[in-house]
Amino acid sequence: MLVRIWALAKKEFLHLRHDWWLPAFMLIGGSMELLLVGWATSRPITNLPLRVLDHDRSPASRRLIMALENTGTFELDGFASNMASLRDSLDRGEINAAVIIPPDYAKQLASSIGRPTVAVILNGAESIPASEALRAVEGVVTHLGQRVALQRLRREPERFAGFDPSLRVWFNESLSKALYTTPAELGLMLEFTVLLFAALAFSRERELGTLEQLLVMPFSSAELIIGKAIPALVVGFTDFWIMLAMVHAVFDVPLRGSLLLLFVLAFLYVLVELSKGLVLSVISRTQHQAFLLVMLVGMADFMFTGYAVPVEGMPRALQFLANFVPAHHWLTILRGILLKSAGLDVLWSHVLALLLLGAVVMTFSWRFVRRALD
């Protein structure tokens, strides 16, 4: 039995050596994507082009513009002469934000009953820069508002001690998006790699016409499954650790928790994805079909990795559905172990869910694939 499994696994590795570009593509492509995404999301958004239509042209309005520039979020792109040109540059996407200061801005600011206003227009089509811009504007305006209020109360703003919240962000102190996105990306790459290699396992032989040969050989269906699973496992796992090392080195994604626990749970997760891949593999007639199915399944799972939208922010129904998606639990576990040094005591519910889902998926897959092969 072991001899036959090994013979099959060895043959699979020979195919891999000849088709080296596929694992290489998965690894290099995955790493590149990881680097790009990590790099793009790890940097704060700065220097958004800002144009100002200043009807007031007072020292007060200049202070406002300077305050906005000083946030670092904006870079003054110039002054507009009228509303039409401002609208035009927004339409063309030349600028992300526009500030319109009314003619009586300084007067309203100085008057004890005045209501100074400014209009800010943000380019909501690019929602992430827009929300960043909004935060910066709010910060500036709140600060200004406090100063105005204190002045009107005839207090020295510098000597006033107000509510001073002590805000601390845990686990991701710099609120770096990279710490959130790269583990997601990493978990996803592991899923895609394992799914793809598993999905090609039998579909490839079927397409090439060698599956029948394999089936008349004295392999039991269990031996076929195990022999085919080993290479997919090795490739997926190798990929995972290489990429983990990379994000650790490049993006300072910490490895705070137990690597042993991570290893065991990653293995469990890989087995689950492998089982899914093998099912795709026996229902596909060609490699092409298998590939498309992997994309479909992968994309569905992708939604629940919290990569695009955090699962907690999803509609109730989808949140409920997420409980049945192994990738969701796996990413919670991965983030927990990497960023929070969480152990089984914290993660047990997700580990248990992964175990249960895994048991169901693996049992189904085992039966289904064996039946298809017999």
- Strand, helix or coil for residue 99: strand
Q: Interface with other proteins by CB under 8 A: which residues? A: 3-4, 6-8, 10-11, 14-15, 18-19, 208-210, 212-213, 215-220
CB-based contact 98:121 (threshold 8 Å): yes
Min dist CB 10 to other proteins, Å, is 8
Query: Quick one: 18 or 154, whose CB is closer to other proteins?
Result: 18
**Measured between alpha carbons, how far is 233 from 255 in angstroms, rounded to an integer?**
22
- 264 is written with which tokens? 């065991």
Residue 224 token pair: 């076929």
Q: Which residue, 20 or 267, has its beta carbon nearer to other proteins?
A: 20
- Phi then psi for 193, rounded to 5 degrees? -60, -50
Nearer to other proteins, 219 or 307 (CB): 219
Give the rounded distance of the alpha carbon of 209 from its chain centre. Answer: 40
- If you compute the radius of gyration of the chain from its CA atoms, what whole number of angstroms results? 28
Q: Pick between residue 25 and residue 263 the one whose CB is nearest to other proteins.
A: 25
In the bound state with other proteins, the residue whose beta carbon lies nearer, of 10 and 143, is: 10
Sheet holding 97-101, edge to edge: 74-79, 48-54, 97-101, 119-122
Minimal distance, residue 16 CB to other proteins, in Å: 10
* CA 156 and chain centroid, separation: 46
Closest distance to other proteins from the beta carbon of 227 (Å): 10
- C-beta of 165 vs 218, nearer to other proteins: 218
Indicate the residue among 73 and 203 with the shorter CB distance to other proteins: 203
> Closer CB to other proteins, residue 35 or residue 211?
211
Provide, rounded to whole angstroms, the least separation between the CB of residue 208 and other proteins.
Answer: 7
Q: Do residues 33 and 105 lie in contact, with contact meaning Cβ atoms separated by under 8 Å?
A: no
Residue with tokens 């993006």: 251
Cβ proximity of 257 and 343 under 8 Å: yes
Instruction: Work out how close the CB of 8 gets to other proteins at its nearest, in angstroms, rounded to a whole number.
Output: 7
**DSSP 8-state secondary structure symbol assigned to residue 172:** S
Q: In angstroms, what is the minimal distance from the CB of 215 to other proteins?
A: 6
Maximum CA extent, the chain: 94
CB of 229 to other proteins, least distance (A): 17
Beta carbon of residue 371, minimum distance to other proteins (angstroms, whole number):
11
Judged by beta carbon, residue 270 or residue 290, the one nearer other proteins is 290
* Start-end of H helices in the chain: 2-18, 21-42, 59-70, 83-91, 105-110, 127-152, 177-208, 211-216, 221-251, 259-283, 287-302, 316-322, 326-340, 344-373
Q: Closest separation between CB of residue 231 and other proteins, Å? A: 14
Distances 81 to 67, 90, 121, 230, 285 between C-alpha atoms, Å: 21, 14, 16, 68, 65
